[in-house]
Structure 1
């Protein structure tokens, strides 16, 4: 039996706090996220939002109530999605961001077996749980994003396989929000495209080259038909900044006064007056002078 291709499972928005992430989504999409739960192993927690078509949006943050030490596991593994990386946490200081996406592995393919066959291609599989839900998820040992030949940066997907036949996203309130497009931008796009093809995930996302930092850009269609975009490429940011600078320069220039053009008939009339004055005879001038003397 041929295994079905990978499916989009969910998008990941990371934030410094869960409240900050939930407010970001509400401001962008106009809908409140639903309560998710805690991930004891990773010491994180999340909130969720249903997307049309079976996928969902996850807001994830470090759980401040989770213990950072555990007597039964003295060496806790790093949190997933780079949430223990100082550079990544610094990035989140500018606000919540769309940072990653997760592809679903459907049975009969078994994720643990697939990873064991190709450990150089697929990160280690971690058994996770949240409430009554349990699943297997690929998470590199250092908690970073999945990578191939040193490149990933959130653009390559993590892989997930749920232990239940009913997808958890089906239990979330319907929002009518649909993911219209998902595009990854990366300086080494060709490397990521190769790995995407090997995984069987090329149909899920476009990958394009950028000269700037890697980024995900997602477009959502709201129930009223409007389109909302999350994520910006460095090229888009620079173009917007350049447009703003040009607008400021244009506003600072003094308005030039345009000289009022003279109508053709005005020019003709002026010329006639000058010609009449020039044609006056000396005799007329003498007669005028004699007349003035008689009056005296």
Structure 2
């Protein structure tokens, strides 16, 4: 049975070598991720796989066809030695209201900023998201996203590998600190004690495949 954290929008799998990671994903799952598009000026591009429902997996890495950006690429891809599940995003019904409510309860989601990427067919997609603010040091608290009038990536004809499970581990005492923050954001995530890390399992043509 598929279990989704409340309001799950997408999981971010970041990599220093996008071509190699996409090929390895295809080898393990039997599913070839679809090109998502280019993050203009940020030096990255992505590939997408649907997770069932309105959720998807984003595989993001450096774009060799773009100049090296003046600032570090998103999600710390420049510092990665190998592919890693970095973070996740949720889509509240009202992004601005969710940010205000979280701040009122003592958690700063960060400012809301606009983002965009251009699909291979030339279509420019725009969305809004929180920039992280003062994220929990474990890195397990999701950022917030709002696609507005842009068609959701999960509805763009991408291949689907249903999500079976998304879990995480966190060291004490962060382990207990994370739960109320997730509740503040209106979501949840199965947590056990251990080093800060994510794990997700997909139902694929090659059988269940787990990524950490």
The normalised TM-score by structure 2 is 0.82
| Aligned partner of 2:166 among 168, 179, 182 | 182
Q: Is the 8 Å Cα contact of residues 180 and 219 (structure 1) preserved in structure 2?
A: yes
Shift of 1:28: 2.1
- Specify every segment of 5 or more residues in structure 1 that has no aligned partner in the other structure, as ranges: 70-75, 232-296
Which has the larger share of helix?
Answer: 1
Residue in 1 aligned with 2:37? 37
**Larger Rg computed on CA atoms:** 1
Say if 1:102 and 1:157, in contact at 8 Å, map to a contact too.
Answer: yes
Higher strand share: 2
After TM superposition, list the pairs within 5 Å mapping 1:62-211 onto structure 2.
Answer: 62-68=62-68, 77-84=71-78, 86=79, 89=80, 93=81, 95-106=82-93, 109=94, 111-112=95-96, 114-115=98-99, 118=103, 120-131=107-118, 132-140=124-132, 147-148=135-136, 151-153=137-139, 155-164=140-149, 166-175=151-160, 177-187=161-171, 188-202=174-188, 205-210=189-194
TM-align CA RMSD = 2.4
Deviation digits for residues 18-50 of structure 1 (CA, Å, limit 9, x no counterpart):
102211211221111111111124321111112
Deviation at 1:138, TM superposition (A): 1.7
Matched, 1:230 2:211: yes
Once the two structures are TM-superposed, the CA of residue 120 in structure 1 deviates from its matched residue by 4.3
Change (3 A) 1:122 1:9: same
> What's the TM-score once normalised by structure 1's chain length?
0.60
For structure 2, the residue ranges without an aligned partner over 5 or more in a row are: 119-123
1:14 and 1:21 in contact (8 A); partners too: no
Relative contact order (alpha carbons < 8 A, sep ≥ 6): 1 or 2 greater? 2
CA deviation profile, 1:181-224 (whole Å, cap 9, x unmatched) = 1101010211111110110111xx211111xx311011112257
Please name the residue that 1:236 is paired with.
none
Q: Paired residue for 2:7?
A: 7
